[in-house]
Amino acid sequence: MREKLEAVQIELRKSSETLTTIQQNLDNERKAWAEDKKLLEDTIADMSSAERSIENARASRQGELQQLEGRAKSAEEKYGREVVAHAESIKDVEELRQRLADTKLAIRDATITAETAQAKLSSSEISWGQQKKALEREVTELNVR
């Protein structure tokens, strides 16, 4: 019986040691699991934070894109208006050039007409002067007779 008691005590010690080892392993696994859980929770929190940051950045970029689109549309409209204004200016310049050419032609015609009239006037004055002298001579001759 003593032998059985000793054998049972040895088995009890081995079982106690095994139980202690198993409890240590279980405690170690619980700690590792708790650390893994904490790591995963931190990772999830980081990912959630990163997702919010990405969403905020996307919203910001979307706003910037809309602003740029507005600026581009405004610049395009302004450019269109300036192109139309430039085309109208070119048209006005061409009309003014044509009017200038027409005016120069009219001035040249008027100058030629005036010069012709002046030449005719001078010619007529000379002719009238000659006729006057001839008449005065005739009158003088008639008076002498």
For 96-128, write each residue's pLDDT tens digit: 999 999 999 999 999 999 999 999 999 999 999
What stretches of 29-119 adopt beta strand conformation (E)?
Answer: none
Q: How far apart are CA 84 and CA 29, in angstroms?
A: 80
- For residue 110, the SS3 value is helix
CA distances from 56 to 16, 47, 63 (A): 58, 14, 10
For the stretch 31-59, pLDDT in tens is 999 999 999 999 999 999 999 999 999 99
Q: How far apart are CA 125 and CA 107, in angstroms?
A: 26
In this prediction, residue 2 has a pLDDT band, given cuts at 50, 70 and 90, of confident
Q: How far apart are CA 137 and CA 145, in angstroms?
A: 12
For the stretch 83-98, pLDDT in tens is 999 999 999 999 999 9
